[in-house]
């Protein structure tokens, strides 16, 4: 970006596509804020399409009372108290394991070469293509309720399934029992568990300085499993198991503090080099954000979809999910050289969610009959 100008740009593509009459692309440098703070700022500039006099309705605050790693307080009884103490011992052990893995990744631990890992084209610059596809939020919530898990668990499971289908289709590998283990960088918002609506209201009332701007992110090194499962729900079960394990760790807090310390002590160049090395040793970046639960207008124009993404890090594939009204947009930033069939990969996401939903429906029917 041009450093002699503010590090944001607004581009309007005033021609029709299959989705909208025109498209606005907002390009912002990551130093100005993370996805959540930028989405908050954008939503404070919109209005409800149903009632332009008010701000759009946002999703409610999460039900969890504190951080994702916070242990519930024990109930009465010695055994309950012992279990509560034991949970902290498990938390400490998992944190130690994850911190060792974090340093090992920076120093020497690399993911195996797969079609999803970036290939170094002898110093050539990476050409990124950003593509998106809409998924049904109602279908995701149906699977969530049937599997007694979270929306994030379902999305991670859908990603497992989609990448597995793409791998075996594009590589021609016929070893059905084969399973590849790669790692993703899962970005986690560390702001207090207030709703997006509360932050937007603060901006509207002139208290924008009280909103936590900038980058308040930690990250988790999350295992991804590439393999074909006979039961589509196994992708979600495995995702839930992996994510639950990561919730029982202070890894996200440690990585956030480590990034701040490295930046302040060693400077931007050292922090950039370390981050670049860690990203290069993993395979995928992954994130998801929640958006308005009703259609919004921006400067009087209805917004049909929101599709955030990022480019710059040395990865061949970045997966972002963004909810808006009753849809979830899956947005992929990928290396054109490695993913010539990028729309075929998007088809795998749609098909995988469909297979998982159908399997959940069969479980629901069996339970209702019982």
Residue 39 β-bridge partners? none
Q: Which two tokens stand for residue 200?
A: 């937007």
Residue closest to 229 by CA, chosen among 162, 147, 309: 162
The torsion of the CA quartet 165, 219, 188, 354, rounded to 10 degrees, works out to: 0
Q: What is the pLDDT of residue 323?
A: 93
Complete edge-to-edge strand list for the sheet that includes strand 301-302: 46-48, 296-298, 301-302
Query: How many angstroms separate the CA atoms of 3 and 5, rounded?
Result: 5
From the list 340, 369, 337, 333, the residue with the least C-alpha distance to 131 is: 333
pLDDT in tens, 154-185: 999 999 999 999 998 888 777 777 788 899 99
In a domain, 38, yes or no: no
What pLDDT score was predicted for residue 307?
92
Q: Residue 109's pLDDT is what?
A: 92
pLDDT at 231: 93
Q: Answer whether residue 59 is part of any domain.
A: no
DSSP letter for 315, please: -
Closest CA relative to residue 214, chosen from 31, 8, 42: 31
- Helical spans, DSSP H, in the chain: 35-44, 78-107, 137-147, 151-171, 196-204, 233-247, 251-281, 342-369
In a domain, 199, yes or no: no
Residue 157 maps to which CATH number? 3.30.559.30
Domain membership of residue 34 (yes or no) is no
Q: Rounded distance, CA 319 to CA 284, Å?
A: 7
Structural domain includes residue 222: yes
Domain residues for 326?
Answer: 65-192+211-369
Q: Give per-residue pLDDT as tens, 247-283.
A: 889 999 999 898 889 889 988 888 888 888 888 899 9
The radius of gyration of the chain's CA atoms, rounded to the nearest angstrom, is: 21
Cβ atoms within 10 A of the Cβ of 361, count? 14
What contacts 266, CB < 8 A, 6 or more positions away?
none
Cα–Cα distance measured from residue 75 to residue 60, given in angstroms and rounded to the nearest whole number: 28
Structural domain count, the chain: 1
Can you tell me the distance from the alpha carbon of 65 to that of 62, in angstroms, rounded to the nearest whole number?
A: 8
Report helix, strand or coil for 224: strand
Whole-number Å distance between alpha carbons of 264 and 100? 22
Residues of the chain whose pLDDT is less than 70?
61-76, 120-126, 192-197, 200, 204, 208-210, 370
What local confidence, expressed as pLDDT, does residue 179 receive?
84
Residue 4 counted as domain residue? no
What is the dihedral sign for C-alpha 98, 99, 100, 105? Answer: positive
Residue 350 confidence (pLDDT): 96
pLDDT, tens digit (0-9, with 9 covering 90-100), for 208-252:
666 777 788 888 999 999 998 989 999 999 999 999 999 889 999
Give the catalytic positions in this structure. 30
Answer yes or no: is 143 within a domain: yes
pLDDT at res. 311 = 81
What CA–CA distance (Å, rounded) separates 179 from 201? 47
Structure tokens belonging to residue 145: 């309720």
CB 291 within 8 Å of CB 43: yes
Position 129 in a domain:
yes
């Amino acid at each position: 970006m041009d450093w002699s100008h503010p590090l944001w740009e607004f581009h309007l593509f005033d021609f029709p596509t299959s989705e909208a009459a025109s498209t606005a692309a907002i390009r912002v440098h990551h130093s100005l804020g993370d996805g959540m703070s930028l989405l908050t700022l954008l939503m404070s500039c919109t209005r409800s399409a149903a009632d332009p006099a008010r701000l759009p309705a946002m999703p409610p605050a999460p039900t969890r009372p504190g951080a994702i790693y916070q242990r519930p307080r024990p109930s009465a009884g010695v055994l309950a108290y012992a279990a509560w103490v034991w949970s902290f011992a498990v938390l400490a052990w998992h944190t130690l394991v994850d911190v060792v893995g974090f340093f090992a990744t920076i120093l020497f631990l690399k993911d195996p070469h797969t079609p999803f890992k970036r290939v170094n084209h002898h110093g050539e610059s990476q050409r990124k293509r950003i593509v998106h596809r809409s998924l049904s939020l109602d279908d995701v919530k149906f699977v969530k309720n049937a599997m007694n898990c979270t929306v994030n668990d379902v999305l991670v499971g859908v990603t497992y399934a989609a990448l597995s289908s793409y791998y075996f289709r594009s590589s021609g590998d016929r070893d059905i029992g084969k399973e590849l283990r790669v790692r993703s960088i899962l970005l986690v918002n560390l702001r207090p568990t207030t709703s997006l609506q509360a932050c937007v209201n603060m901006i509207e009332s002139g208290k924008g300085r009280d909103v936590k701007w900038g980058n308040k992110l930690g990250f988790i090194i999350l295992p991804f499993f590439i393999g074909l499962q006979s039961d589509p729900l196994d992708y979600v079960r495995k995702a839930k198991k992996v994510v639950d394990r990561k919730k029982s760790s202070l890894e996200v807090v440690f990585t956030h503090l480590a990034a701040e310390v490295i930046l302040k002590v060693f400077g931007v160049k050292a922090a950039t080099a370390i981050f670049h090395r860690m990203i290069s040793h993993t395979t995928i970046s992954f994130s998801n954000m929640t958006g308005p639960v009703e259609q919004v207008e921006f400067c009087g124009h209805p917004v049909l979809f929101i599709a955030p993404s990022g480019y710059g890090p040395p990865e061949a594939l970045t997966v972002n999910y963004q909810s808006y009204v009753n849809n979830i947009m899956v947005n992929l930033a990928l290396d054109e050289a490695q993913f010539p069939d990028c729309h075929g990969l998007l088809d795998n996401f749609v098909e995988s969610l469909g297979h998982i939903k159908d399997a959940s429906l069969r479980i629901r029917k069996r339970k209702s009959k019982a």
